[in-house]
Structure 1
Amino acid sequence: MDDKDLYSDHDISIMKNAADSLNRNNDRIQEIIEFAKISNIKIIGIAHCTTFTKQANQLRTFLELAGFTVEQVNCKIGKVPFSDLVPNYKGISCNPAGQAHYLEEKNTELNIMMGLCLGHDLIFNAKSKAPVTPLIVKDRKLNHHSIEKLDSSDS
């Protein structure tokens, strides 16, 4: 099979628009904004952990100032009791499938994932109808800077 056969026209369009949005002078947020503009995206979703609510609110502001409609949802949507999903667990469970469903109902065209736990991020990515790009990866030990472990000599 030819590698090109692995990609749909939509996939190739995403790759082209991403390449066209790259600029060494832009940070990741600005790259996302440029990509969304080039892709003619109007509605962007933010799926975040409650730990990152302040940062998600700031991202929302940046995106709205850039002209996008923004739909935001935290991981505790629906307030699902953890014991409903896993017996003998307490508290309110994260609900990554609920986050994906909420953003689908809001017709988002691109979703930004911020700090979802391992496993929850996998479920959100699998359930999201819109393409997903990560902005923050949760890493409790390294204060969300996982690259530090890879850059250190004592890995």
Structure 2
Amino acid sequence: MYSCANCVLRGCSEGNLEKTLPNCPSKEKNVQEEAKKLYLEEENYKIAHNAALVEAEGYGAKTRVEEIISFAKKCEYKRIGLVFCIGLINEAKCFADILRHHGFDAISVLCKNGGIDKTYVGIDNESKIPGECDEIMCNPIGQALLLNEQNTDFNIILGLCVGHDTLVMKYLKAPMTTLAVKDRVTGHNPLVAIYLANSYYKKKLM
């Protein structure tokens, strides 16, 4: 098993494979050679090349919103799909306006599209959100199929729930990235829980 999260050597980041753990994935020559070949495929090369440029140009200077715009321009994407949660509809409108300002076609699809009740996936009343009247299920598969139908060049995920993002990523055909993820407790900043894992959140998480 690989254990990069616990490595203190990090020789891979220096190109020094001698300074690595015995189970370092950098030593998996067959896998690494396969990965290198895949980078030479046209779309992969374009994405990797432009991602490296965006990283260098925006390092510590540009927000993720700015980097997404820069990346999409460098890749010459035109039709941008935006899959978002109804809880972030104001943020989605603002972001779609920004995309249009930069010359993109912004095609947005709300999570509640289709108006499907949660009973369709076996959720009874006892399993629904207490006190909530909105029990229309999120429809990430529908979001993905609708954007596929629109032939988007690039898709952006904004604030989808855990699991719903899994399904939209499973079915979207065009390349994608995430602007923000859902975390109702931390204001959509899930790393807060990690930063506090050894202090205020210790009893909760550990």
Q: How does the TM-score come out when normalised to structure 2?
A: 0.71
- 1:103 matches 2:147: yes
Return the alpha-carbon distance in structure 2 between the equivalents of residues 101 and 26 of structure 1.
Answer: 32
Amino acid at match of 1:46: L
Q: Once the 2 structures are TM-superposed, how far is the Cα of residue 87 of structure 1 from its aligned partner?
A: 4.8
Identify the residue that residue 149 of structure 1 maps to in structure 2. 193
Identify the residue that residue 138 of structure 2 maps to in structure 1. 94
Rg larger for: 2
SS of the aligned residue for 1:57 comes to helix
Identify the residue that residue 168 of structure 2 maps to in structure 1. 124
Mapping 1:54-93, distance limit 5 Å: 54-89=90-125, 91-93=135-137
Query: How many correspondences in the alignment?
Result: 155
Identify the residue that residue 47 of structure 1 maps to in structure 2. 83
Q: Comparing 68-77 with 5-14, which one deviates more in the overlay?
A: 5-14
**Structure 1 segments (4+ residues) deviating >3 Å:** none
Q: Once the 2 structures are TM-superposed, how far is the Cα of residue 131 of structure 1 from its aligned partner?
A: 1.4
Identify the residue that residue 137 of structure 1 maps to in structure 2. 181
Q: Once the 2 structures are TM-superposed, how far is the Cα of residue 119 of structure 1 from its aligned partner?
A: 0.5
Gaps of 5+ in 1: none
Q: Once the 2 structures are TM-superposed, how far is the Cα of residue 82 of structure 1 from its aligned partner?
A: 1.3
Identify the residue that residue 49 of structure 2 maps to in structure 1. 16
Amino acid at match of 2:32: D
Q: Once the 2 structures are TM-superposed, how far is the Cα of residue 2 of structure 1 from its aligned partner?
A: 4.3
Amino acid at match of 1:53: I
CA RMSD, 1 decimal: 1.5
Gaps of 5+ in 2: 1-29, 129-134
Q: Comparing 18-27 with 64-73, which one deviates more in the overlay?
A: 18-27
Give me the identity figure in percent: 34
Return the alpha-carbon distance in structure 1 between the equivalents of residues 113 and 174 of structure 2.
Answer: 19
Amino acid at match of 2:137: S
SS of the aligned residue for 1:125 comes to helix
Q: Comparing 97-106 with 20-29, which one deviates more in the overlay?
A: 20-29
Q: Once the 2 structures are TM-superposed, how far is the Cα of residue 140 of structure 1 from its aligned partner?
A: 1.4
Q: Once the 2 structures are TM-superposed, how far is the Cα of residue 4 of structure 1 from its aligned partner?
A: 3.9
- 1:3 matches 2:32: yes
Q: Comparing 83-92 with 30-39, which one deviates more in the overlay?
A: 83-92
Q: Once the 2 structures are TM-superposed, how far is the Cα of residue 105 of structure 1 from its aligned partner?
A: 0.9
Return the alpha-carbon distance in structure 1 between the equivalents of residues 174 and 122 of structure 2.
Answer: 28
Return the alpha-carbon distance in structure 2 between the equivalents of residues 45 and 4 of structure 1.
Answer: 33
Q: Once the 2 structures are TM-superposed, how far is the Cα of residue 12 of structure 1 from its aligned partner?
A: 2.8
- Cα pair distance change 1:3/1:133, threshold 3 Å: same
Q: How does the TM-score come out when normalised to structure 1?
A: 0.93
- Cα pair distance change 1:150/1:66, threshold 3 Å: same
Amino acid at match of 1:3: Q
